[in-house]
Amino acid sequence: MNHFKIKQNILSVVSSFTSSAFKIDSNNVVPPERKQWTNPIELFLTLVAFDAFLIPYTLMLIFIGALVFYLELTLEQFTCAGPLAVWNVNPLLRETLATLSQIDIISMRSIVYLYYLINKICIFRYDNVFNGVESDQLNTRTRMATARHVHAATLFNSSEVLATAGYGYTDYLASSEIYDPSTSQWNPTARMARARTAHTGTLLQSGKVLVTGGVANTGYMSSCEIYDPLTGQWNTAASMAIPRISHTATLLNSGQVLVTGGITFGAPALNNSEIYDPSTDKWNPTSSMATARTSHTATLLKSDKVLVAGGAASSEVYDPSTGQWNPPTSMATARYYHAAALLRSGKVLATGGDVGSANYLASSELYHPSTGQWDTIRNMATARKLHTAILLRSGKVLVTGGVGSSDFLASCEIYDPSTGQWNNITSMTAGRAAHTTTLLNSGKVLATAGYGGTGILDSSEIYDPSTGKWNPAASLATSRTYHTATLLNSGKVLVTGGEKLGSHMTIIHLKKE
């Protein structure tokens, strides 16, 4: 973990060194005047500040990692016959192997930069064809304005999707974007007051969107904001009593919002819960869960009760009429970073997840509200975590992407409650995890951004249940992961926040320690 923190510090220094030259104001409609680099030295330093620094970094990992590994062999601290756990003795070796797996990408990008340098051409040059006004207009139609992950996406009643905040390649994101299915375009909207990732986005009964908590450079956040689709503006809302990330926020039938669990300063997990009342703009405490949990799921049942599952080996049910939690019920398998979906029958399907030490799950189980018990059902074809599960209009459940044992997953599966069977379907165009999926008013499913094998993604795609196929959609202006996506009353989708960081650091630092 210390290695990743060191890498984060290096990226922060590089980011601050180059930010004055490359800082972009997303609120400007007219792009700045295009100019050329003044001399080759400025161009060379720019390249070094970006991916070129990966070359000496790679060599350092290879030679130092090999040396330490040789010493371990000599001192007999590592044997091939030993348990897999001994690999933890040598984090540098693991990083060396991880780097070697991507050395072809690093080498090719470095060669491209060298070619541009020799020919005095730069893809970052202001008047380059790839950075021209025409390209800006094209990218506005095909990409989000900002790459992001750990962001939020909210579907409005208008069928638009709002994307908010997140983490970018150099910083956490305060930007938001809206996807309009009628035009298949992403459009920027007002920025949040504070950048954040690992937050929540909840559509209120008023049609506004409540964003809660998250984390940024200043640490865990208790602050909240509300987006008004009619004005396209963000307004500050009352803060929660406790800063938190990796929590859940559930809209109750009363119009209030229940927030549960998560992580805060000095606490690996919380059992605390609180309720937001939009009519008074106040947070009120409610009873605490019996078990502290994070990276769990919260599902509103047909009874208006809330099922909180995972983040531990148990589940609990909150009753808004009494403000109390029912005694915990054991799950068949402890799981976190899983996905849950409410079926038409009122049962809840929990899929995949992680039990720790990268032990990804293919198992699934069903919760029966009438008995309060969990039953094990057939396994998925592929073990996965950080995936999504969404109920289709057919009553079936679509599971997409996630992280598998060896790679980011593009594979998708559909669960049919009538047969209890899982069926593989067409894969997405890109492997992605920590992404979002949103059921549009058309019955199609929009998948946005996330983390893939090439880094944080800005791409999006749409699944059509009638054809069983995925089709590329317009890309976000900003790549992001761990964002939120909310379907607005207009039918558009609001995507907010997240992270935009060019490494696996985010997924690692959000794991349980």
Q: Is the dihedral of CA 260, 262, 264, 267 positive or negative?
A: positive
Please say if the pLDDT value at position 253 is more than 50. Answer: yes
Q: Which residue has the tokens 């058309």?
A: 442
pLDDT digits (tens, 9 = 90+) for 41-57: 655 655 555 544 555 65
| Distant-in-sequence, close-in-space partners of 437: CB < 8 Å, separation ≥ 6 | 388, 390, 398, 400, 445, 446, 447, 448, 485
Radius of gyration of the chain (CA): 23
pLDDT digits (tens, 9 = 90+) for 430-461: 999 999 999 999 999 999 999 998 889 999 99
Please say if the pLDDT value at position 279 is more than 90. Answer: yes
Sheet containing 282-285: order of strands: 248-251, 257-260, 273-277, 282-285
Please say if the pLDDT value at position 236 is more than 90. Answer: yes
Given this model, what pLDDT does residue 500 score? 80
Q: What percent of the chain has pLDDT over 90?
A: 59
pLDDT digits (tens, 9 = 90+) for 145-200: 555 445 555 555 655 556 555 544 446 899 999 999 999 999 999 999 999 999 99
Residue 62 to residues 93, 94, 131, 149, Cα–Cα distance (Å): 8, 10, 35, 29
Please say if the pLDDT value at position 247 is more than 90. Answer: yes
Please say if the pLDDT value at position 122 is more than 70. Answer: no
Contact 306, 273 (CB under 8 A): no
Given this model, what pLDDT does residue 358 score? 74
Contact 196, 224 (CB under 8 A): no
Q: What percent of the chain has pLDDT over 70?
A: 64
Identify the band that residue 359 occupies on the pLDDT scale cut at 50, 70 and 90.
Answer: confident
Given this model, what pLDDT does residue 452 score? 93
Identify the band that residue 490 occupies on the pLDDT scale cut at 50, 70 and 90.
Answer: very high
Contact 438, 487 (CB under 8 A): yes
Rounded Cα gap, residues 11 and 169, in angstroms: 9
Tell me which amino acid residue 237 is.
A
CATH 1.10.10.10 for domain 140-242+307-509: no
Given this model, what pLDDT does residue 104 score? 58
Beta strands at 248-251 and 257-260: parallel, antiparallel or unpaired: antiparallel
Please say if the pLDDT value at position 92 is more than 80. Answer: no
DSSP helix/strand/coil, 283: strand
What does the domain layout of the chain look like in residue ranges?
Answer: 35-131, 140-242+307-509
Burial track 351-377 (b if 16+ CB lie within 10 A, e otherwise): bbbbbeeeebbbbbbbbebeeeebeeb
